[in-house]
Amino acid sequence: MSAYEAVLFDWSGTLVHDPSPADRLVRALQLVNRDVAEETIEAMLVSLDEAAHRPDVVEVLRYEDTSAERHRAANLLWFERAGLDAELADALYHFDGDPDHRPLYPDVAETLAALKAQNVKIAVVSDIHIDLRQLLESQGVAGWIDAYVLSFEHGCQKPDPRMFLIALDLLAVRPEQTLMVGDRCSHDGAAVDVGIATFILPSPPAVPTTRGLDVVTRMVGARDG
């Protein structure tokens, strides 16, 4: 039998590419037919960074992913404090909802297929404000995913242990039968607090290249001696 009966995957930076703030701004500006000169991008990045450290913005962003409404309000406040106009703020806010902006890493499909071939259950556990089912369906991999734990649907976000406990319940597996795969120790690493073995990937690459998920396939396929 496989070493694990289930694998929980983070979404952003684990299954799909996480563009840099600069890349996000460039695309948002292009969508609204604005100047994408380097100095324009640099100035906006400075403004966004400064605004992100304002006490009122820090407070609203703290639990932004616990509801879709809270996420929208928090991020639009952030963009407003940074001086972005409504049109640009809207384009930037909706960035994550377009699968073309969040491409799968090249080794995701083969990894998910290999896990399912071993009868391993798969869940996506993500701090997110949108329904990832539709995105991953459009990218052709939803058929391999058995369950989703999306923070905005449950009113909690990682590192809250409830995110992982809900996943275990949905998949009907025990912690010791499960592997969590993510890219942030601070959030995904919290799975260890409920007894789930956790594998943290290196920092996401600058471009959507192979993520190294073959390691997960080998870990799951390991047999007891």
**pLDDT tens readout for residues 30-59:** 999 998 899 999 999 999 999 999 999 999
Q: Is the pLDDT of residue 223 over 80?
A: no
Phi, psi angle pair for 6, to nearest 5° = -150, 150
Do the Cβ atoms of 76 and 164 come closer than 8 Å? Answer: no
pTM of the model: 0.94
d(CA 69, CA 3): 40
What do you get for the CA distance between the two ends of the chain, in Å? 11
Q: Is the pLDDT of residue 224 over 70?
A: no
**pLDDT tens readout for residues 20-30:** 999 999 999 99
pLDDT of 221 reads: 85
Do the Cβ atoms of 112 and 141 come closer than 8 Å? Answer: yes
d(CA 45, CA 21): 7
Of 28, 80, 21, nearest to 46 by C-alpha is 21
Question: Over the Cα atoms of the chain, what is R_g?
Answer: 18
Q: Say which DSSP state 161 is in.
A: T
**pLDDT tens readout for residues 54-106:** 999 999 999 999 999 999 999 999 999 999 999 999 999 999 999 999 999 99
